[in-house]
């Protein structure tokens, strides 16, 4: 296992993925609540499954973003733009 993969499965990344999973879960439940028909009993049966799917989606999405290097790319871009702004002061 090379050093890149070791960092992806670190405790920090696992905790970040858990937080992203929880945020996805919360936002998804709120969106589901406002979009469902109040009288539809089928939605009540599907709600626990949907909650689990929302969490898992956010959790694994974080790992996919890490593997693709999008976090590093964004952070490098953001840091560089902040340094440019600071250097102009």
* Selected residue with higher pLDDT from 17 and 77: 17
DSSP state letter for 39: T
Domain edges within the chain:
3-88
Confidence of residue 76 (pLDDT cuts 50, 70, 90): confident
- Model pTM score: 0.66
Alpha helices in the chain (DSSP H): 3-8, 11-35, 41-68, 70-88
Q: Is the pLDDT of residue 3 over 50?
A: no
Give the three-state DSSP class for 20: helix
Alpha-carbon distance of 26 to 57, in angstroms, equals 12
Alpha-carbon distance of 86 to 16, in angstroms, equals 29
């Amino acid at each position: 296992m090379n050093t890149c993969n070791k960092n992806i499965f670190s405790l920090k990344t696992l905790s970040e993925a858990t937080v992203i999973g929880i945020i996805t879960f919360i936002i998804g439940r709120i969106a589901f609540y406002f979009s469902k028909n109040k009288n539809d009993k089928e939605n009540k049966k599907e709600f626990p499954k949907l909650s689990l799917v929302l969490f898992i989606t956010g959790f694994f999405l974080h790992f996919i973003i890490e593997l693709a290097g999008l976090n590093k790319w964004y952070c490098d871009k953001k840091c560089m733009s902040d340094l440019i702004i600071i250097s102009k002061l």
